[in-house]
């Protein structure tokens, strides 16, 4: 079951604080700096775990872009936002589009949803297989184990004329050093409209990987890897270069 099965329709409202235009421009700068593909046409780009297509809305200005996500509801929103882009439902671990791209992105810490180290390696290897020689893979990580702060409550509130949304989140540190650590976030939603108040809970579990884990996964996929500790949102950025 997708983590966003119920909340896809309000995803954009919850994350309305994100500056997608600025983030997309920063990603474009990274790709232009590192991509070694030479072409007279637009470079091709695949956004893995593209969500509601907000980054692609801006990246499509520079690339012949496609999007891929596991959640059908988010893809519905993305297709409405970007009607000229092809969106495909698929899992980052094993999607097979039959084509290669000049650049592949996986942003907003979506890589954490692989949860385990073996699945991290599989996902990075699968994305690397979809890169042209000279192409670039850009992954924005989730938190490392030492940076995760469990048992910390969080809240988001959306105040619209005809709809009020509250998302209250509790967090845990799960797993072990031997089996791998992961974060567990239970997100409680309250949505008030003229029809009444709806309540539901979504559980999001994301792997807490170290920098060494990411670097090893890129190298196992035979990518030259560069780590930017700041990245586009402060969470860092891993940049893989296909030979």
Residue 190 has what pLDDT?
98
Residue 220 has what pLDDT?
98
Q: How far apart are CA 140 and CA 105, in angstroms?
A: 8
pLDDT at 1 over 50: no
Reported confidence tier of residue 28, pLDDT bands at 50, 70, 90: very high
Which CATH fold topology does 8-143+209-242 show? Rossmann fold (3.40.50)
Reported confidence tier of residue 212, pLDDT bands at 50, 70, 90: very high
Bridge partners (DSSP) listed for residue 176:
180
Bridge partners (DSSP) listed for residue 160:
163
CA proximity to 231, closest of 61, 111, 58: 111
Look at 37-46, 70-79, 116-125, 160-169 and tell me which has the smallest mean pLDDT.
37-46
- Domain borders along the chain are 8-143+209-242, 145-207
* Residue 231 DSSP SS3: coil
pLDDT at 2 over 80: no
Which CATH fold topology does 145-207 show? 2.20.130
Bridge partners (DSSP) listed for residue 37:
none
pLDDT at 5 over 60: yes
Average pLDDT, the chain: 96
> Mean pLDDT across the stretch 123-150?
97
pLDDT tens-digit map of 39-64: 878 999 999 999 999 999 999 999 99
% of the chain residues with pLDDT over 70? 99
* Residue 160 DSSP SS3: strand
> Mean pLDDT across the stretch 99-114?
98
pLDDT at 31 over 60: yes
Please tell me the pTM assigned to this model. 0.97
Contacts of 59 (CB under 8 A, 6+ apart): 24, 27, 28, 45, 47, 65, 105
Residue 35 has what pLDDT?
97
């Amino acid at each position: 079951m997708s983590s966003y099965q119920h909340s896809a329709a309000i995803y954009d409202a919850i994350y309305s604080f994100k500056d997608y235009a600025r983030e997309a421009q920063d990603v474009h700068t990274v790709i232009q700096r590192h991509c070694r593909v030479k072409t007279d046409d637009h470079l091709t780009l695949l956004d893995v775990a593209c969500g509601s297509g907000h980054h692609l809305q801006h990246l499509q200005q520079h690339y012949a872009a496609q999007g891929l996500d596991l959640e059908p509801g988010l893809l519905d929103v993305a297709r409405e936002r970007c009607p000229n882009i092809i969106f495909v439902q698929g899992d980052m671990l094993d999607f097979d589009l039959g084509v290669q791209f000049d650049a592949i992105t996986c942003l907003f810490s979506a890589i954490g949803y692989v949860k385990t180290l073996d699945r991290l390696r599989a996902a990075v290897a699968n994305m690397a297989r979809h890169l042209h020689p000279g192409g670039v893979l850009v992954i924005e990580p989730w938190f490392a184990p030492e940076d995760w702060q469990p048992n910390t409550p969080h809240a988001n509130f959306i105040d619209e004329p005809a709809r009020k949304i509250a998302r209250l989140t509790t967090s845990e540190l799960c797993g072990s050093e031997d089996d791998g650590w992961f974060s567990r976030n239970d997100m409680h939603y309250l949505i008030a409209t003229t029809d009444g108040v709806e309540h539901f809970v979504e559980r999001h579990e994301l792997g807490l990987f170290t920098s060494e884990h990411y670097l090893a996964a890129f190298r196992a996929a035979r990518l030259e890897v560069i780590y930017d500790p700041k990245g586009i949102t402060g969470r860092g950025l891993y940049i893989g270069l296909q030979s």
